[in-house]
Chains A and B, each alone.
Chain A
């Protein structure tokens, strides 16, 4: 029996049900009730976004004015009226040298976003040119058994995003491979559960920064002789260790709280211990395991930025930190761009996990 896949079903699984409402609007299937629904699901959110941007704009403007008048006053008290007038004129002219440094307005952020994209395009073009230039040489070097020459220029903003994603997925996979098996073993045995409990309770609330330092201590020694990228190793291991606890606890809970009816079925069918775990206990705890994994992924993304920032590992975190240190006129707005990008990617990652979670979960009472 095949089930028809409709837009409605797909969007409901992904958690974007409002798309159906938009489709109805364009296909003219809108009734009065549905129109109200459309208002609620579509117009109201858009209005709130507009309101948010408006408030932000006004707030930024106020902060800008405070900062500007402070600068003018300072010039007046320190250098006299003439300097104050010059400062006022300088600020009004929009000259880079005397702009007040404060919260950027939405428009500035949008400009920075475009400039980051331009920057990315030019770096990408550079890379292509470099590749073409070194293609012949690299072929020769490879033939001689030497390492090819790689592009070592500055990474663009988009490159940083992909580096961050790589780190987060490496950390997530590490968490998955540590937490799920341990969670299953702990969940199955009451003795192990109580012997591991103190460890979990103590290490769970440890801050990402401390994890980073701990991992740094160990990895630094271990990678002394190799020339591998230890910053990447340190950051992904720290991300994994910080984020694995939710999965560990949820897996252990899921495995230890399997419905008694399912266990009875397993006993009546006389399933062996391995079969019991793989055919009854694991499938029935999958929904909880995936809930844990979903939390793990969002925690991983959240701590990643802080860890990259401290570990000097390339990525969005170090981008933010470098921009802050940089102190250029558009640094603040670039940080805000990074903030929105981080938020959006976090949201998309969460949706991805939610989709998988919805696909594997079942209602607890379905079979009973």
Chain B
């Protein structure tokens, strides 16, 4: 049985079933220890999909199963890294992480919890900034705090919703490596939502494109058969990388064009001509 499974999931934000569906007929299964990436255009319903999996939303129809059990709400077993870091601005870096750790391990002693906070803050390289507030940090540092906060709860599965979307290319690369290092250390199951095909190929075992909404649904999956650890510079010359990348991009372009054709409407203009004023004078 799959570790995480979505069966015929539909999601609509309207009150009844008749409204436009954001997601329709989503089927997905992820095995334990796998790293899966979902790629899609902005506004294609990626965040909705993530919220269904982490338990913030419930599907209108269909089932989300985690280890065979239906997902009814949020759980500490599934850690989430949000698109917009969502740190609490009135708490310092340490306090932000501490709050998560305290909730995840309510029975541990304070000193143990503080040690855990220090370990995870150190892991993302923010020990010098542990007493700073989010506003004193750069975007990349903030996202690292969010990573530390999610990982410190020791989740069994880690869900990332465009975690690096708001960062510049250089910081992005560094954080990709950091997340991969952490993932490889204890091989947690990971789901990455992204709009960057290269990022998906570099990090994931499988890439699944999301056909854009309304009625967004998952496309055919692409397996990435590139050995880990992957090297970014070598990756560019890897023929395997090139073909997969081209295949995915071609697929996305195709649905992008399809969408454009679908939305094209003929606008019937009224048959009007300007009045001839000259004759009146």
Q: Chain A residues in contact with chain B, CB under 8 A?
A: 1, 261-262, 264-265, 267-271, 275, 279-280, 283-284, 286, 362-364, 366-368
A269-B100, A270-B103, A367-B142 known; A362-B84 Cβ under 8 A = no
User: Cβ of A284: which chain B residues have Cβ within 8 Å of it?
Assistant: 88, 90
Alpha-carbon distance between A1 and B87 when the two chains are bound, in angstroms? 20
Q: Is the CB of B87 within 8 A of A271?
A: no
- Taking CB atoms and an 8 Å cut-off, the chain B residues in 56-105 that contact chain A are 56, 73-76, 79-80, 82, 84-91, 99-100, 103-104
Q: Is the CB of A367 within 8 A of B56?
A: no
Q: Is the CB of A265 within 8 A of B88?
A: yes
Alpha-carbon distance between A125 and B90 when the two chains are bound, in angstroms? 51
Alpha-carbon distance between A203 and B54 when the two chains are bound, in angstroms? 45
Q: Is the CB of B134 within 8 A of A269?
A: no
The answer to the question of B131 belonging to the interface, with a C-beta cut-off of 8 Å to chain A, is: yes
Contact of A366 among B79, B133, B153 (CB under 8 A): B133
Contact of A367 among B55, B87, B99, B153 (CB under 8 A): B87
Q: Is the CB of B90 within 8 A of A368?
A: no
How far is the CB of B115 from the nearest CB of chain A, in Å? 19
Q: Is the CB of B88 within 8 A of A1?
A: no
Q: Is the CB of B103 within 8 A of A367?
A: no
Q: Is the CB of A280 within 8 A of B88?
A: yes
Alpha-carbon distance between A270 and B91 when the two chains are bound, in angstroms? 18
The answer to the question of B135 belonging to the interface, with a C-beta cut-off of 8 Å to chain A, is: yes
Q: Is the CB of B99 within 8 A of A269?
A: yes
The closest CB in chain B to the CB of A362 belongs to: B89
Contact of A283 among B55, B88, B100, B132 (CB under 8 A): B88
The closest CB in chain B to the CB of A282 belongs to: B90
How far is the CB of A156 from the nearest CB of chain B, in Å? 45
A267-B74, A268-B74 known; A366-B135 Cβ under 8 A = yes
User: Cβ of A367: which chain B residues have Cβ within 8 Å of it?
Assistant: 85-89, 134-135, 142
How far is the CB of A105 from the nearest CB of chain B, in Å? 52
User: Cβ of B54: which chain A residues have Cβ within 8 Å of it?
Assistant: 268
Q: Is the CB of A264 within 8 A of B89?
A: no
Interface residues on chain B, number (Cβ under 8 Å): 29
Q: Is the CB of A279 within 8 A of B74?
A: no
A269-B100, A270-B76 known; A264-B56 Cβ under 8 A = yes
A362-B89, A368-B86 known; A268-B99 Cβ under 8 A = no
Q: Is the interface of B mostly helix, strand, loop or mixed?
A: loop
User: Cβ of B135: which chain A residues have Cβ within 8 Å of it?
Assistant: 362-363, 366-367
Apart from A362-B133, A367-B88, 7 more pairs, CB < 8 Å: A261-B82, A264-B82, A265-B88, A268-B56, A268-B74, A270-B76, A283-B91
Give 5 pairs: A residue, B residue, CB < 8 Å, sorted on A.
Answer: A261-B82, A267-B74, A271-B103, A286-B90, A367-B135
Alpha-carbon distance between A265 and B86 when the two chains are bound, in angstroms? 7
Alpha-carbon distance between A286 and B75 when the two chains are bound, in angstroms? 29
Q: Is the CB of B56 within 8 A of A279?
A: no
Alpha-carbon distance between A239 and B56 when the two chains are bound, in angstroms? 45
How far is the CB of B136 from the nearest CB of chain A, in Å? 9
One digit per residue, 1 when the CB lies within 8 angstroms of any chain A CB and 0 when it does not, for chain B 101-142 equals 001100000000000000000000000000111110000001
User: Cβ of A264: which chain B residues have Cβ within 8 Å of it?
Assistant: 56, 82, 86
A268-B54, A269-B103, A363-B135 known; A261-B86 Cβ under 8 A = yes
User: Cβ of A275: which chain B residues have Cβ within 8 Å of it?
Assistant: 103
The closest CB in chain A to the CB of B101 belongs to: A269
Alpha-carbon distance between A178 and B74 when the two chains are bound, in angstroms? 35
How far is the CB of A7 from the nearest CB of chain B, in Å? 21
Alpha-carbon distance between A366 and B141 when the two chains are bound, in angstroms? 12
Which among A1, A271, A283, A286 has the highest number of chain B CB atoms within 10 Å? Answer: A1
How far is the CB of B264 from the nearest CB of chain A, in Å? 34
Alpha-carbon distance between A262 and B90 when the two chains are bound, in angstroms? 11
User: Cβ of A368: which chain B residues have Cβ within 8 Å of it?
Assistant: 84-87
Contact of A262 among B86, B131, B153 (CB under 8 A): B86
Q: Can you list the 6 inter-chain pairs with the closest CB atoms, starting with the nearest?
A: A366-B89, A366-B135, A367-B87, A367-B89, A261-B86, A368-B84
- Taking CB atoms and an 8 Å cut-off, the chain B residues in 126-166 that contact chain A are 131-135, 142, 153
User: Cβ of A268: which chain B residues have Cβ within 8 Å of it?
Assistant: 54, 56, 74, 79-80
User: Cβ of B89: which chain A residues have Cβ within 8 Å of it?
Assistant: 362-364, 366-367
Q: Is the CB of A366 within 8 A of B103?
A: no
How far is the CB of A365 from the nearest CB of chain B, in Å? 8
One digit per residue, 1 when the CB lies within 8 angstroms of any chain A CB and 0 when it does not, for chain B 171-196 equals 00000000000000000000000000
User: Cβ of A364: which chain B residues have Cβ within 8 Å of it?
Assistant: 89
The closest CB in chain B to the CB of A286 belongs to: B90
Q: Is the CB of B86 within 8 A of A362?
A: no
Alpha-carbon distance between A364 and B135 when the two chains are bound, in angstroms? 10
The closest CB in chain B to the CB of A361 belongs to: B90
User: Cβ of A366: which chain B residues have Cβ within 8 Å of it?
Assistant: 89, 133-135
Alpha-carbon distance between A279 and B80 when the two chains are bound, in angstroms? 19
Q: Is the CB of A283 within 8 A of B80?
A: no
Alpha-carbon distance between A152 and B177 when the two chains are bound, in angstroms? 80
Which among B55, B82, B103, B133 has the highest number of chain A CB atoms within 10 Å? Answer: B103
Q: Is the CB of B84 within 8 A of A261?
A: yes
User: Cβ of A269: which chain B residues have Cβ within 8 Å of it?
Assistant: 99-100, 103-104, 153
How far is the CB of A368 from the nearest CB of chain B, in Å? 4
Alpha-carbon distance between A261 and B89 when the two chains are bound, in angstroms? 12
Alpha-carbon distance between A267 and B153 when the two chains are bound, in angstroms? 14
User: Cβ of B104: which chain A residues have Cβ within 8 Å of it?
Assistant: 269
